[in-house]
Amino acid sequence: MATQILDGRTLAKSIEGELLERVNKLKEKTGQTPILATILVGNDPSSATYVKMKGNACRRVGMDSLKIEMGEETTTEQLLAKINELNENPNVHGILLQHPVPHQIDERVCFDAIDITKDVDGVTTSGFGRMSMNEFAYGSATPQGIMRICNHYNVELEGKHVVVVGRSPILGKPMAMMMLNANATVTICHSRTKDLPAILKTADIVVGAVGIPRFIKSEWLKDGVVLIDAGYHNEGCGDIDLEKASEKSSAYTPVPGGVGPMTINTLITQTVESAEKKLAK
């Protein structure tokens, strides 16, 4: 059986066409445009690039992006004040606080200050709790994007053993909960897990979310495994050694062009959904 490429770039492009239609309908009906506010704190070049990409994606679907830049010396209190200002702005439908923020800022406190109805990046603890209980919340963008890839390409999840390698609060942990809600059997591992290769050998689906280049080796995987690589590193690779591992997989997300485009697409999709709910009232 040929290996299936789970092409996130092509999927995201097709969804953007649908989003453009939805945004145009909103504009015609209400005279208002969905707005995503992006907050960039500090001068990290990678973060600046990500924010620019998200702004470009907004424009492609007819949305507006409100770009807010704050200095490297910004305090937690100053950032909280800005978030509260955006929470109270009725014209803002989604808020993105770009991760990471400078070390002196309490990132978790700031994430949790975002109004849950505008938490389109799925970073609040309240949103995580609701999602874990299978109640409505905007999902954390990367794992939610992965679920949308799986759904589009008919990757069977129910009853499958999914091994998530990574435990971050905005990727590994919500990924595990989403897979569990889809009736998969889930094992969460990380860089300190003992005998990780033996656990991975039992996996039907592997999600690489550990943040280490080519950490997951081909020889650790069984034939026919589905590989979801959520990593991206300067070397142009992900968390799985796809160059070798893809040959034994039944399906895999390429790096780049797999999970990344669907992360951004999920962010703007959830912003459109937030705007539709707000403007329908």
Pick from 57, 38, 40: which is nearest to 48 by CA? 40
Chain centre distance of CA 113: 19
Please state, in angstroms and rounded to a whole number, the distance separating the CA atoms of residues 180 and 176.
6
Q: For the range 101-110, what are the long-range contacts, defined as Cβ-Cβ under 8 Å and sequence gap of 24 or more?
A: 101/41, 101/42, 101/74, 102/41, 102/42, 102/72, 102/73, 102/74, 104/75, 104/76, 105/41, 105/74, 105/75, 105/76, 105/79, 106/76, 108/169, 109/76, 109/80, 110/76, 110/79, 110/80, 110/83
Please state, in angstroms and rounded to a whole number, the distance separating the CA atoms of residues 38 and 156.
35
Report the C-alpha dihedral over residues 165, 49, 54, 132, rounded to 10 degrees.
20
**Catalytic amino acids?**
54, 98, 121
